């Protein structure tokens, strides 16, 4: 079982440079863990691609639907009261935006504070660095 940040989910539902890598990861272990607000972050990322002219609106709608199906089969960390103080601590120690701090805090909650050896998938460099410093194994990307 592995924790998936939204940046690792998006390439599973829309073709990107990281799609092959994300597909390999899900092939290695399809049992995924996500944060309860990951669908919101995925929708935001897809709409950003639409605004940037990279993805047609229809494709974004299809990708969001596919993401909903995919995320519907994940284990979801939904205990926001447990995640909030962890996210605040993470922002004090790491250079993270709020969303990334919440993702990492959710991963720490899933790991029950003992992330050693557990895998966190992300394509966000700042989040990857913070996750490694917290004890997660982050698979390097090519």
Across all residues in the chain, what is the average pLDDT? 96
- What is the pLDDT at residue 115? 97
d(CA 116, CA 37): 24
- What is the pLDDT at residue 142? 59
**What is the pTM assigned to this prediction?**
0.94
Task: Report how far Cα 96 is from the mean position of its chain's Cα atoms.
Answer: 14
Buried/exposed 32-64: b ≥16 CB within 10 Å, e otherwise? bbbbebbbebbbebbeebbeeeebeeebbeebb
What domains does the chain contain, in order, with CATH numbers? 2-134 (3.40.50.1010)
Residue 38, classed as helix, strand or coil, is helix
């Amino acid at each position: 079982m592995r924790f998936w940040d939204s940046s690792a989910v998006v390439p599973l539902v829309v073709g990107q440079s990281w799609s092959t890598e994300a597909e390999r990861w899900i092939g290695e272990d399809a049992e995924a863990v996500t944060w309860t607000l990951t669908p919101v972050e995925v929708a935001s990322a897809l709409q950003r691609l639409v605004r940037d002219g990279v993805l047609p609106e229809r494709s974004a709608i299809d990708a969001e639907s596919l993401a909903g199906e995919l995320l519907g089969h994940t284990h979801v960390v939904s205990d926001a009261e447990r995640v909030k103080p962890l996210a605040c601590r993470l922002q004090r120690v790491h250079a993270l935006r709020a969303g990334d701090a919440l993702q990492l805090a959710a991963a720490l909650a899933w790991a029950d504070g003992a992330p050693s050896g557990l895998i966190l998938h992300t394509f966000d460099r700042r989040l990857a660095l913070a996750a490694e410093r917290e004890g997660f194994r982050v698979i390097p990307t090519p």
